[in-house]
Amino acid sequence: MGPRRFRWVLHVDLDQFLAAVEVLRRPELAGRPVIVGGRGDPTERAVVSTASYEARAYGVGSGMPLRVAARKVPDAVILPVDRPVYEAASGHVMDTLRGLGTVVEVLGWDEAFLGTDVEDPEAFARRAQRAVLDATALHCSVGIGDTRVRAKIATGFGKPAGVYRLTAESWTSVMGERPVVDLWGVGSRVARRLAAHGIGTVSQLAAADEAVLVGEFGPRMGAWYGELGRGEGSAVVDDTPWVARGHSRETTYQRNLTTPEQVTAALRELAAQAHADTEAEGRPVFRVGLKVRYAPFFTRTLSRKLPAPTRSLDEVTAAVLDLAAGLEPGREVRLLGVRAEMVMPSGGAGAGSTPVRGRV
């Protein structure tokens, strides 16, 4: 169907998705605190991917170091991430939603936007919930909005397994006095920058002078943050198949890398993995990125556009190693990541007019 503007945007979010899938595989885990992350070993460096509601009651959340989560909930069941199983479960859910006869824009394993022009969006939302539950035994929450932003934020008020509507009429009464970090797309760093201008609540952001926001964040993001404070934005839902712009590979090392030789060897391996991912799509690379996390926990990212798009592993690796020359000598490294950004199929970003060099 492609992109369309709808009267109502619904945001469907699967509740505690990874943990719920694991409980379906192991019914004896129902009602117990379940944590999914890494290889399921809390003695290793890894983070929580998802925690069941029983584990969240102890303060466990996504992104928390697995060893910290294990200390918070000593009797938790900690399981490794099983991507193929989650991808299959997600695909089943998305196919079920498409069976409702509406546009479905997939956002990730566990969430999607739906567009509809029905008179009773709550009834449609409950229909979607029943369809997903009947087909997969998974529960979901549904946010209803007149924009994508409002639908996305509404979902949080509907959890777990509920339905909530948030519109222009109710936006200020529901969101006005809430802190700006409750908005989709505002993290703690942006919140601190807004606080420096006396902006702490959603209503204050909505009423902020656009010139102040533009001065702080630039013309595009400054205007966007102002719209976000008012819950404004697009009501378009687009089911056009998603095309990856790039592929990333990263590793958290169980022991810090301490020598340049170790870093170089690790980057060669990551570059080869990311390059293999791009080769599977048959698209050349036009930009590479490098992510490094020094011990104890300071992260830096670097990127570079290549002289010309290429499918050569040697050229991709050389560009990554050139970026690595900018790393701080003598600092121990706990994580490395390599990203390879590809020319889009339509000849988009990075395509330029330079012919692609031959495959190596």
Task: Give the CATH number of the domain where residue 198 resides.
Answer: 1.10.150.20
Strands 8-14 and 140-145: antiparallel
Asked if 146 and 10 sit in the same domain, the reply is yes
Q: Is residue 240 part of a domain?
A: no
- The verdict on residue 143 lying in a domain is yes
- Which pLDDT score is estimated for 1? 66
**Domain of 71?**
1-166
Does 182 map to a domain? yes
In a domain, residue 338? The reply is: yes
DSSP character at residue 179: B
Do 207 and 120 fall into the same domain?
Answer: no
Tell me if 355 is assigned to some domain: no
In a domain, residue 353? The reply is no
Statement to judge: residues 13 and 141 lie in one domain = yes
Q: 108 with 198, same domain?
A: no
Residue that has been written with the tokens 């490794």 in this structure: 80
Domain with residue 334: its CATH number is 3.30.1490.100
28 and 159 belong to one structural domain: yes
Question: In terms of domains, do 146 and 215 share one?
Answer: no
For residue 144, what is the domain's CATH number? 3.30.70.270
Structural domain total, the chain: 3
Q: What is the pLDDT of residue 204?
A: 98
pTM of the model: 0.82
Query: Does 356 map to a domain?
Result: no
Which of 143, 166, 189 is the last residue in one of the domains? 166
Which amino acid, residue 194?
L
Q: Among 144, 166, 188, identify where a domain stops.
A: 166
Whether the Cβ atoms of residue 87 and residue 106 lie closer than 8 Å to each other = no
Q: Enter the DSSP assignment of 182.
A: G
93 and 192 belong to one structural domain: no
174-177: long-range contacts, CB 8 A cutoff, minimum separation 24: 175/202, 175/203, 175/231, 176/201, 176/202, 176/203, 176/206, 177/201, 177/202, 177/203
Do 3 and 107 belong to one domain?
yes
Q: 2 with 112, same domain?
A: yes
pLDDT number for residue 167: 98
Q: Report pLDDT for 3.
A: 86
Structure confidence at residue 360 (pLDDT):
34
CA end-to-end span of the chain:
39
Q: Which of 111, 122, 261, 281 is catalytic?
A: 111
**SS3 at position 113:** strand
144 with 209, same domain: the answer is no
Q: Are residues 77 and 199 in the same domain?
A: no
Q: How far apart are CA 52 and CA 235, in angstroms?
A: 32
Query: Are 160 and 74 in the same domain?
Result: yes
Q: Is residue 261 annotated as a catalytic residue, yes or no? A: no
pLDDT (tens place) for every residue of the chain, 360 residues total: 678 899 999 999 999 999 999 999 999 999 999 999 999 999 998 999 999 999 999 999 999 999 999 999 999 999 999 999 999 999 999 999 999 999 999 999 999 999 999 999 999 999 999 999 999 999 999 999 999 999 999 999 999 999 999 999 999 999 999 999 999 989 999 999 999 999 999 999 999 999 999 999 999 999 999 999 999 999 999 998 888 899 999 999 999 999 999 999 999 999 999 999 999 999 999 999 999 999 988 999 999 999 999 999 999 999 999 999 989 988 999 999 999 999 988 744 444 333 333 333
**Does some domain include residue 70?**
yes
